[in-house]
Amino acid sequence: MKNIKLSALQENKRTVVRVGDVKVGEGFCVIAGPCSVENERQTIETAKAVKEAGAQMLRGGAFKPRTSPYAFQGLGLQGLKILKKAKEETGLPIVTEVIDTRDVPWVTEYADVLQIGARNMQNFSLLKEVGKTQKPVLLKRGMNSTIEEWLNCAEYILDGGNYDVILCERGIRTFETYTRNTLDISAVPALRELTHLPIIVDPSHASGRVSLIPALCFAAVASGADGIMVEVHINPSEAVCDQEQALGPEQFSHMMKKIRKLHKFMVDLA
């Protein structure tokens, strides 16, 4: 693969990205939380519920890259402050998206992991900017991007001096319309042989349907992924953003029990 230097797998040495006490690349890491931070109660109650079910990090967008300019764009700084409070109450590290180079310095103050969304995967100025920070970066795959293009984007961050990159497969665009995207599960074992970086799966944006999410999570475990990032809302029927793919706390907790069992089975199998 062309120009894949710093992210290429060498001598089977794999990167473990440390986020507080959490190690991404060792065991199976679960990141969960709402699509967007809507208010304090929604975020903190969701954070408590996902923690109770065994999630290790909290996700939540304060800046939302929406298809329509008229859709909810996120609470911005207020959202980041709510995430900080949720972290204080639960101890869960925060994964949150940064969409603008100008925001990187101050989003970095609140985030434990900087998320680069699918729509920004090839925003090279943004990649260079997060490459200058010391914060782990969760780099989502662009919906129309090849694995090679994706790894080249990781390369930008590594080349900036930041080696803590987590790759996130979130589904790609195909001719299929039943699902929001098509989860490219083969990307997981493919990346295993190409790169030392940890790889997680986002079944929520890949499918866009609550009913399909558990099966995709199990597929992620079986494919050898290092974790998942899944959307959970304390009250899915009230979710402002991505309602059709929001798991409720009980669905999430039920699924988590099976994920942990399946992961143990896979470890024993190896």
User: Binding residues for ligand PEP, per CB under 6 A?
Assistant: 35, 61, 65, 117-119, 140, 170, 205
Closest separation in Å from C-beta 119 to ligand PEP? 6
Report the 10 Å Cβ neighbour count for 54. Answer: 14
Residue 87 binds which entry of Mn ion, ligand PEP, none, CB below 5-8 Å type-dependent:
none
Measured CA to CA, the distance from residue 231 to residue 158 in angstroms comes to 28
The answer to whether 142 and 149 have CB atoms below 8 angstroms apart is: yes
Residue 196 binds which entry of ligand PEP, Mn ion, none, CB below 5-8 Å type-dependent:
none
CA 209 vs. chain centroid, Å, equals: 17
Measured CA to CA, the distance from residue 7 to residue 72 in angstroms comes to 35
* Residue 120 or 133 with smaller CB distance to Mn ion: 120
Any idea which residue has 């199976």 for tokens?
28
Residue 22 binds which entry of Mn ion, ligand PEP, none, CB below 5-8 Å type-dependent:
none
Q: Which stretch binds Mn ion (CB under 5 A): 101-109, 173-181, 185-193, 236-244?
A: 236-244
Q: Which stretch binds Mn ion (CB under 5 A): 11-19, 156-164, 219-227, 241-249?
A: 241-249
Closest separation in Å from C-beta 11 to ligand PEP? 32
Residue 79 binds which entry of Mn ion, ligand PEP, none, CB below 5-8 Å type-dependent:
none
Number of residues lying near Mn ion (CB under 5 A): 2
* Residue 6 or 197 with smaller CB distance to ligand PEP: 197
What is the C-alpha radius of gyration for the chain, rounded to an integer number of angstroms?
Answer: 17
Report the 10 Å Cβ neighbour count for 57. Answer: 25
Residues 6+ positions from 1 with CB-CB distance below 8 Å: 8, 148, 151, 194
Pairing of strands 199-201, 227-231: parallel
Closest separation in Å from C-beta 64 to Mn ion? 8
The answer to whether 80 and 61 have CB atoms below 8 angstroms apart is: no
The answer to whether 168 and 184 have CB atoms below 8 angstroms apart is: no
Q: Does 35 bind Mn ion (CB under 5 A)?
A: yes
Measured CA to CA, the distance from residue 164 to residue 72 in angstroms comes to 30
* Residue 44 or 118 with smaller CB distance to ligand PEP: 118
Measured CA to CA, the distance from residue 234 to residue 225 in angstroms comes to 26
With CB atoms as reference, the residue minimizing the distance to Mn ion is 35
Binding residue for Mn ion, selected from 232, 242, 246, 263, defined by CB under 5 A: 242
* Residue 117 or 249 with smaller CB distance to ligand PEP: 117
Which H or E run contains 94? strand 94-97
* Residue 9 or 65 with smaller CB distance to ligand PEP: 65
Residue 140 binds which entry of Mn ion, ligand PEP, none, CB below 5-8 Å type-dependent:
ligand PEP
With CB atoms as reference, the residue minimizing the distance to ligand PEP is 117
